[in-house]
A and B are shown apart, each in its own frame.
Chain A
């Protein structure tokens, strides 16, 4: 098992290098940089900008710049965000945490919802319930997250029950600990609902198809022949086997959430990685962009790794292959 995990880590390293290098290239090829805006500021002298450039090795060729950045990353120095005037790690760490909180709540909610829904659809296959659910799943995959966010915010604007965006109330600092938790949870509801709708929809389709496939296999026929109840067959025998391939999707979900959450974060004002990346890209804040991309890639690889480990734990056939 440890060898398996180690091998996956080794594979991840060139991937991360490739992704970061490409991003670096794209940002630096782009015409202009952050200093062009600083130059317009009369309070910043030309010498200061040159000093900055030299300090961050931005006067050297792109490849050299990239290696300087890499060298610093290994020393846990993520560089400096010019627009926030703060070390990148400081800007990013809280944002990454917020995105993680949002993603995890979406994953939890959608998995809690999708399993009973898929079972329901299969149990009432081709009847009204199934049709109704599959209509909703079509709607879910076709509704862009930003549009759903607009709609929910519109609905929420009529009642004062839910906050319209942001992550904390104005008087957050005065709250007691539990009130703080409750406050964040209340702000979490709309973005979670927005992202869960699409996620549940796509998961529902996959799980339903898996369940139907498993139900067609011969051991289910054997279970039927033994006279097991319908509920027992679906819940215990079929569901377990239908969920196995879903574990891979679990890891993949992480990546789609990271990039899918960005727009929702921007619209709902959730201070996550998406917002900060958009700002950073628009203002060409080099090290901040690199930091967010690195974090996103790392989270992604961790998600995939987690899925692989889970899969190996649950599916004995895969473990057998890796040990050989």
Chain B
């Protein structure tokens, strides 16, 4: 509780906490917030630019109400579609409208969506090569990207703390073997290891399998560095008097590690978990960007960016870069939050200055 109170005091930390909560709420309520389903394509709106939402039309006497115009296109001499607004009719943006069916939180079946337009399509952030709404796809993609960060970091910390504590507590030969293994893991350039690991599984997996595989790969790469730090902490912890006391009282090694060593590493672990989450988000994005991760039509922030791999696409359709902004902002929030947590939990910093 004390941690939370101090977090609220810092404006930066509070801001990032708010942003992250919004992102995660967006992920949870993705189907409610998104006007279209992530795989709903439309041949009339290929590469349609972001729809402008207007509030005034003096000819039609519409004031202070959000509305859009229909986007029509003509084909220019390069056989490219040029979109323009057809101002002859006004399509009001409505709230709590009926749309595609989904299960809210996986339980309540409903078809109410936060906003929508009937008659035309509303693309807040533009459309992609198949005429799918980028805004909806980003929301659905955040489910994958943000959850992989949390789960991946959680798993690798579980392994890292366990291995590190065992290695540091027992010392000697066990420590030696484990630490050589850890060093080896840290030596392999992460990106190459990621590729090699991905390659050792068949390429045509279902999206759930790929999702799980990415988590496994990222945790497999991530545990080593944590184990190393925890091992260092365990090495110094095992020399404490209360550990000796526990040993003399006949507490088993397993119990000592679980009850007396690991809990002392938690405050470090909390900081390090938060700071490591962006790494998992980036890892997933990198794999999916290269086409080795989450596959179409499923969306993730990484594979949404893969259409930007062609430089021509970026130049003509710059809005396809927006998923990147979400990656940057969410990672930045995690970093700021982690550093604020470290400042709060680190007793040394309080004394000096």
- List chain A positions with a Cβ less than 8 A from chain B: 14-15, 18-19, 22-23, 26-27, 29-32, 138-139, 141-144, 146-147, 150-151, 153-154, 157, 164-165, 216, 255-256, 258-260, 262-263, 266-267, 274, 277-278, 281-282, 284, 289, 292-293, 296-297, 300-301
Contact = CB atoms under 8 A, between A and B. Distances in A.
Contact of A138 (B292, B324, B336): B336
Given A139-B328, A267-B309, A259 B191 contact: yes
Interface string B27-70: 00000000000000000000000000000000000000000000
A142 B331 CA distance: 5
A27 B193 CA distance: 11
Contact of A150 (B188, B191, B202, B324): B324
A29 B200 contact: yes
Contacts of A267: 309
Contacts of A293: 188, 192, 196
B19 to A, nearest CB: 12
Contacts of B174: none
A144 B195 contact: no
A274 B202 CA distance: 21
B234 interface: no
Contacts of A22: 184, 188
Contacts of A296: 188-189, 192
21 contacts: A15-B183, A27-B200, A30-B199, A138-B332, A142-B335, A143-B328, A144-B286, A144-B328, A146-B289, A147-B305, A147-B321, A153-B311, A164-B311, A216-B353, A255-B189, A259-B190, A262-B189, A263-B191, A263-B286, A289-B196, A297-B188
A32 B200 CA distance: 9
A30 B311 contact: no
B199 A282 contact: yes
B309 A277 contact: no
Given A18-B180, A263-B289, 12 more contacts: A15-B187, A22-B184, A23-B188, A23-B196, A26-B197, A139-B332, A142-B335, A144-B331, A255-B187, A259-B192, A262-B192, A274-B191
B78 interface: no
B232 interface: no
Given A19-B187, A138-B332, A277 B200 contact: no
B192 A216 contact: no
B203 to A, nearest CB: 8
B315 interface: yes
Contacts of A278: 195, 290
Given A29-B200, A146-B289, A150-B324, A300 B187 contact: yes
- 7 nearest CB pairs, A to B: A259-B189, A259-B191, A147-B324, A142-B331, A142-B332, A30-B200, A26-B200
B189 A144 contact: no
Interface in B309-323: 309, 311, 314-315, 318, 321
B332 A150 contact: no
Contacts of B190: 259
B282 interface: yes
B308 interface: yes
A22 B352 CA distance: 46
A15 B184 contact: yes
Contacts of A274: 191
B189 A146 contact: no
B278 A142 contact: yes
A14 B177 CA distance: 12
A144 B327 contact: yes
B165 interface: no
A143 B318 CA distance: 18
Interface in B160-211: 180, 183-184, 187-192, 195-202
A274 B189 CA distance: 11
A299 to B, nearest CB: 9
Interface in B295-344: 305, 308-309, 311, 314-315, 318, 321, 324, 327-329, 331-332, 335-336
Contacts of A30: 199-202
A10 to B, nearest CB: 13
Contacts of A164: 311
A259 B282 CA distance: 13
A31 B189 contact: no
B285 interface: yes
B192 A277 contact: yes
B314 A154 contact: yes
Contact of A277 (B195, B305, B311, B324): B195
Interface string B267-305: 000000000001000100110011010000000000001
B327 A147 contact: yes
Nearest to A146: B289
B285 to A, nearest CB: 6
Contacts of B289: 146, 263
Contacts of B292: 282
B291 to A, nearest CB: 9
Nearest to B191: A259
Contacts of A18: 180, 184
A165 B315 CA distance: 14
Given A151-B321, A157-B311, A300-B187, A31 B202 contact: yes
A274 B196 CA distance: 12
Nearest to B333: A142
